[in-house]
Amino acid sequence: MKTSRLLLTLSLLFLCSTANYAQSFSQEIGIIAGPVAMKSDYGLRGNSETNFGNIGLGVGLVHYINFAYRADCNCYSRDRYFNDHFKIRTELDYHVTKLEHFGKESEKNSIGGLKLRSMHGKAKVFEIGPHLEFFPRSIRDYEAGAYKFAPYISLGVHFVNYDPEVKTDLPGRIGSQANTFYEFLAPSGEDPYIDASSGTTYSIVFSAGTRYRLNDYSDLLIDLKWHSYGTDFIDGLDHDNIQNKSNEWMVWLNVGYIYYLNF
């Protein structure tokens, strides 16, 4: 909890400081959207139905600080390696994924299979944070029209607010022995394995993608991102068995439109 609050504070300070100096650079804004594959405690690890069944949708707003071009003089900045190959990206995302139990265990004609099939979840996640984006090719040359594609990689950290849902179609409240699969029932004296409370944490984000130049003022973007979370309760579950080897993580393929504000 303390870590996530620190990340939020640092993100806000970062946004305020970049806003103060924004006229020394140029700025870009955009919108992104695409399918989200949430890897959670629902389903079986490595199961194709789980991998392709628990797919959600994410949308985001992005803002860039472009060091290659200055807004205050409508001119290129000093030709330095950092200015010509790095941008700072700030991102605000929201994604929702409905979660089901897939795999052989849930398909069994048994009480356990019925309990798994009747259990449903939803991961609702809000994220905000900065990224450092690296372009191997010259940003100046790309913006001058020397080539159409500008590939990049980035690394970022997000403050995360999550609000999971966990329910069952069987009678009673989820978490009782009568309606809950045994793996999600915590032994006496341990914290519950099911907790649908909202909370905050952090995520480490790695992405790789490319831009495509449309005109002097806009780009198309395609981006593949990997988010690794600092908690295992993004989906409301944290059980103790062989299937639960790591915290939640997700893969997000998105496309976007970027507009240059100061050109």
Residue 68: inside a domain: no
Structure tokens at 13: 């300070």
Average pLDDT score over residue span 221-246: 87
Give the pLDDT band (50/70/90) at residue 238.
confident
* Residues near 103 by beta carbon (within 8 Å), at least 6 away in sequence: 43, 44, 47, 49, 50
Average pLDDT score over residue span 132-160: 95
Nearest to 233 by CA among 161, 157, 129, 158: 161
pLDDT at 21 over 50: no
pLDDT at 237 over 80: yes
The pLDDT score that the predictor gives to residue 19 is 47
Which tops the pLDDT comparison, 239 or 16? 239
Residue 79: inside a domain: no
d(CA 76, CA 9): 32
Residue 131: inside a domain: yes
pTM of the model: 0.85
Residue 103: inside a domain: yes
Which tops the pLDDT comparison, 104 or 85? 85
Residue 170: inside a domain: yes
Residue 164: inside a domain: yes
Domain span at residue 216 reads 2-16+29-60+96-260
The pLDDT score that the predictor gives to residue 36 is 97
Q: How many domains does the chain have?
A: 1
Tell me what the pLDDT averaged over the chain comes to. 87
- The CATH code of the domain that includes 172 is 2.40.160.20
Average pLDDT score over residue span 181-192: 88
Cα–Cα separations (whole angstroms), residue 103 to 30, 39, 113, 152, 238: 39, 14, 10, 37, 19
Structure tokens at 176: 């009782």
Q: Is 110 helix (H, G, I), strand (E, B) or coil?
A: coil
* Segment 57-75, tens digit of pLDDT: 999 999 999 887 665 555 5
113 and 156 in contact (C-beta within 8 Å)?
no
Give the pLDDT band (50/70/90) at residue 78.
low
Beta strands in the chain, from DSSP E residues, in sequence order: 26-39, 55-66, 69-70, 75-76, 86-100, 119-134, 149-162, 165-168, 199-215, 218-229, 249-260
Residue 184: inside a domain: yes
The pLDDT score that the predictor gives to residue 161 is 97
Residue 78: inside a domain: no
The pLDDT score that the predictor gives to residue 125 is 98
